[in-house]
Amino acid sequence: MFEILQFAHSWLRWIVLILGIYVVIKSFMGWKGNKVYEKTDNALSGAFMGTLHLQLLIGLALYFVYSPIVQGAFNDFGAAMKDGAIRYWAMEHIFVMIIAIVIAQIGRIKSKKAVTDALKFKKAAIFYLIALILMLSRIPFGEAERLFRGL
């Protein structure tokens, strides 16, 4: 089960990133171009949040149930915090990703409640960009084997 969830988590990341980049660009263009906030904009925002939430659920299952790295870290947390690689997976990755998802969700809520189209785009652009930057900061791009994981 660990390998299946890890594979799904690894590949879903690319959908999240592509949707996130697209929604941020479209939001900035809508905001700066005084465009009308349409159903497709709302649907794209919803798709971005939906994939983020799915990614979070898979990540939480990996973190709390299936990850041997995290389970080992829980056995000796003091030693785990002294090892940068273990600390990354046991604390840094999940902590920053959860913060990013919370920020994106706040942006989605604020965007939906905004009274003008420009404000809808502005809130989405700002909050989603911050969330995307945080996510990009905690993706292990330096580990080539993790980028395109196979089963």
Task: Categorize the per-residue pLDDT at 96 as very low, low, confident or very high, splitting at 50, 70 and 90.
Answer: very high
Q: At residue 151, does pLDDT exceed 60?
A: no
Task: Record the pTM.
Answer: 0.90
Which candidate, 19, 11, 13, places its Cα nearest to that of 128?
Answer: 19
User: How many structural domains are present in the chain?
Assistant: 1
In terms of residue numbers, what domain contains 39?
2-147
- Give pLDDT tens digits for 117-131: 999 999 999 999 999
Is residue 150 classed as helix, strand or coil in its secondary structure?
coil
Residue 57 confidence (pLDDT): 98
**pLDDT at 142 > cutoff 80:** no
